[in-house]
A = this chain, B = another copy of it.
Amino acid sequence: MTRPGGRSARVRDAVHDAVVELLAAGEIDAAIPRIAERAGVNPTSIYRRWGSRDHLLLDAAVTRLRATSPIPDTGSLHGDLRGWAEGVERAMRDPRGQILLRALVATMSPDEKPLEYLRARGDDLQATLDKAAARGEPVPSVDEVLDFVLAPLYLRVLFRRPAEPGTGARLVERLLMALPADPAPRAGRGG
């Protein structure tokens, strides 16, 4: 990527778009020539850049999901987590979000270290929690947020149906409700 912002970026975006559209349209095993056609690009360009369909899918999923639902800064932990959870929930009600999450799970190598995507999210989360702790608010651990807010939202999408509106907010409320009023730093659950 020594030439950012030019033709290279255009092709990359067009290919990512094509992947998302095709998957969302139900062509879940569209091969590279089909994706290239949809993107208005030569198949060779895809083979040369991504090498395999799985690498392309993983790249598209990570890139696109990373842009989704950042953690807001509302001034209170409750507001931050609630805004974030609602964003995740909304993204997971979009068929494209669903398919991207599924593609991510499908193409991640099982022995992969904690995926960069989720690690970055964990870091963001930690920063948000740190700020809240500095304000004197009682805070959960990152693990608790992932276990009791993100996990239910994701599991519902992957195995059942997308969470109904309000689920994210309810999960956040339940988690924060369970915290001790004392803002002493909590012993993490060991992740």
> Residues of A with Cβ closer than 8 Å to B?
26, 28-29, 52, 54, 95, 98-99, 102, 105-111, 114-115, 118, 146-148, 150-152, 154-156, 158-161, 164, 170-171, 178, 189-191
Contact = CB atoms under 8 A, between A and B. Distances in A.
A121 to B, nearest CB: 10
A95 B164 CA distance: 33
Nearest to A177: B178
11 contacts: A29-B52, A29-B54, A95-B110, A98-B110, A99-B110, A102-B106, A114-B159, A118-B160, A146-B152, A147-B151, A151-B155
Nearest to A148: B148
B159 A118 contact: yes
